[in-house]
Structure 1
Amino acid sequence: MDLNISDGIQVDVDTLYVESESDPDNNRFVFAYTITIRNIGEIPAKLMTRHWVIRDANGKVQEVQGDGVVGEQPHLKPGEGFQYTSGTMLETSMGTMGGSYCLVTDTGEEFKAPIADFLLSAPRTLH
């Protein structure tokens, strides 16, 4: 049986434009994102690192890499989930963000769980 371990990790994203922190006149657009990571597979795994690629509408690319998420490295048993909220700032009212998490199973296998690009958009940006 050829099992793709990353298929066992589900990542859902909700985004929010943070108007109170943003300053459009000075090209400051702040977004919050809430990530829910679920282990829908059969193998326990620990989230070790994150890698984000953030693009604004001008084509500026920021890469963010680091240990864990919000200071934690959650261990997810089958059926368990972990949710956190973080944020990013763009110089344009619209952009995208995506990347991957690197996880390690309890048996020592390392794998990446992809995070599909998602849209960051201030209200009234898309018509």
Structure 2
Amino acid sequence: MVEQITYGVKIQVKTNFEGTFYKDHKMLFAFGYQITIKNQSKNSVQLNARHWIIKDALNNTETVSGEGVIGKKPVLLPGESHTYNSGCLLTSPIGSMKGYYQMINFTTNEVFKVEIPNFKLSAPYVLN
């Protein structure tokens, strides 16, 4: 598990390899990840947007931005957490993801970024 705290918001990431499949004569590697966002600050916050940088071992980079996470913009009171599952496809058995969430602090109306730490994606058979 990888974790990081930014402005009192803790991000924890767990990953898993889901398998391989062929699409358009290309082998793709499917990875799942579970993210828990925990508000350890004294203020209520809301996640409004996400920004991801996804890389694979073939030096391909994909940038993904959008509103919320899996169709939600969770509001977290102090001490609350939100967990969700998602995934990505890579063209190699090794890669990484990192990014940030754009959030708003309801006490100060400040918009701020919470870093999502860099985490590795790897098929279990490629690493010892």
TM-score normalised to structure 1 length: 0.90
Q: CA deviation at 1:54?
A: 0.2
Question: Counterpart amino acid of 1:55?
Answer: K
How far apart are the structure 2 equivalents of 1:59 and 1:76? 36
Identify the residue that residue 43 of structure 1 maps to in structure 2. Answer: 43
Which residues in structure 2 correspond to 1:68-79 (within 5 Å)? Answer: 68-79=68-79
Residue 17 of structure 1: aligned partner: 17
For 1:95-117, what per-residue CA distance to the aligned partner results, in whole angstroms no more than 9, with x for missing partners?
00000000001131100000111
Of 6-15 and 109-118, deviating more is: 6-15
- The structure richer in strand per residue is 2
Moved over 6 A (4+): none
- 1:1-127 equivalences under 5 Å are 6-19=6-19, 22-23=20-21, 26-106=26-106, 107-127=108-128
Residue 7 of structure 1 and its aligned partner are, at CA, apart by 2.5
**In proportion to residue count, which structure has more helix?**
1
Unaligned regions of 5+ residues in structure 1, if any? none
Report the CA distance between 1:26 and its aligned residue: 3.1
Secondary structure at 1:18's aligned position in 2? strand
Gaps of 5+ in 2: none
CA distance in 2, matches of 1:45, 1:68: 13
SS state at 1:69 partner? coil
SS at match of 1:97: strand
Number of aligned positions between the proteins:
121
C-alpha displacement of 1:6 = 3.2
Q: Shift in Å at residue 124 of structure 1?
A: 1.1
Deviation string, structure 1 residues 54-78 (Cα, Å, up to 9, x no partner): 0000110000000000000000011
